[in-house]
Amino acid sequence: MRAQVIHAHGAIEDITWEPNWRDPVPGAGEVVLKVGACALNYHDLFSLRGMPGISLPFPLIMGIDVAGEVVRVGAGVTGVKVGDRVVVDPFDRETGVLLGERADGGLAEYVKVAAKQLLPLPDDVSYEAAAALPVAYGTAYRMMVTRGRLVAGEKVFILGASGGVGTCCVQLAKLAGCHVIVAASSKEKLERLRALGADDGVDYTQGDWVREVQSRYGKARFGGAGGGVDVVVNFTGGDTWVPSLKCLKNDGRLLTCGATAGYDPKEDIRYIWTFELNIIGSNAWTRDDVASLIELVRQRKLVPVVDRVLPLEQAREAFRLLDERKVVGKLVLKP
């Protein structure tokens, strides 16, 4: 089969196009999918470059989010047959293996997965939309709905709003009836986020964004009628962490699921105790989260934001776009 392969951690140029890679063969309990679409995540860049504490089996085909058609079925598989359209829940909770990280993923013509990780895909949900869902949208769903418990009318400030997780956070906060404020690195990104439903936005490259948010929404005051937003969503970390605490109102909630710009930021716990802030972590998604998202997409209540679809051959270009932050929503590759 044709595949994009990495042979070691490295740079985007080290992603290698292999036109004659070995076809996967399904073992017991496994199926092989013909990949319909594979969406990239920032996590793929972490995998490519290497992350502390995570060792990968090389050579490796990356690509965590996959939707496609079942073409081969291994022994003992029930409930799934050749020809079924499916999307993969990429995390095997029994073994701890993440597809495209510790097992070959979807940046190829075919991929082998355990049948228990498949979710059925309705005919009216495209492979491109489905592949956008599990990691980014599943994580956003868990963070905003299950852990964040957004309430209609709340003011929600979302950093990193233009990315895969971020665009879904915007959509889910709007679905919940919240007032959504977004932060992005350009006017163009802010415009696209407004078209998605964002009510307000700040270009954080233009001056002091904390002051800007405080000037529009006020700031917390202990024991008094201060202002501030109800919820900040911050999976950027790094030097955005403490500033984002300053945007919250008393008893406000900071939701986090990641740290694109650094996981050990400077902390200032004075803000946490003084204004009784709640730091709420959220990790990954459940099978039910993905199923709920598929249903929302089927009902047209949620339309995954796909920035563009590129042929599998252009994986390097797709990684470059992601790395250079030239994407709003998801990048999808198709064999």
The residues binding ligand NAP (CB under 6 A) are 41-43, 135-136, 139, 160, 162-166, 184-185, 189, 235-236, 257-261, 283-284, 322, 325
* DSSP annotation string for 64-77: -EEEEEEEEE-TT-
Least distance (Å) between residue 166 CB and ligand NAP: 6
Q: To the nearest whole angstrom, how small is the minimum distance from the Cβ of residue 84 to ligand NAP?
A: 26
Question: At closest approach, how far in Å is the CB of 210 from ligand NAP?
Answer: 15
Smallest distance, Å, CB 27 to ligand NAP? Answer: 27
Min CB(310)–ligand NAP separation in Å? 15
- Please, which residue, 123 or 324, has the CB nearer to ligand NAP? 324
CB of 180 to ligand NAP, least distance (A): 15
Give the sign of the dihedral formed by CA 257, CA 133, CA 328, CA 108: positive
Pick from 145, 172, 159, 165: nearest CA to 43: 165
Smaller CB distance to ligand NAP: residue 298 or 325?
325
Joined together, the tokens standing for residue 44 give 């793929």
Q: Is the dihedral of CA 32, 34, 36, 38 positive or negative?
A: positive
How many Å from the N-terminal Cα to the C-terminal Cα in the chain?
A: 10
Q: Which residue blocks in 79-163 are alpha helix, DSSP H? A: 127-131, 138-141
Sign of torsion over alpha carbons 292, 298, 301, 302: positive
Nearer to ligand NAP, 80 or 284 (CB): 284
Distance of CA 265 to the CA centre of its chain: 21
DSSP SS3 for 222: coil
Which residue number, 31 or 167, has a Cβ lying nearer to ligand NAP?
167
257-284 in b/e form (b: 16+ CB < 10 A) is bbbbeeeebeeeeebeeebebeeeebeb
In terms of CB distance, is 34 or 246 closer to ligand NAP? 246
The residue of the chain with the least Cβ separation from ligand NAP equals 163
Closest CB to ligand NAP among residues 71, 284? 284
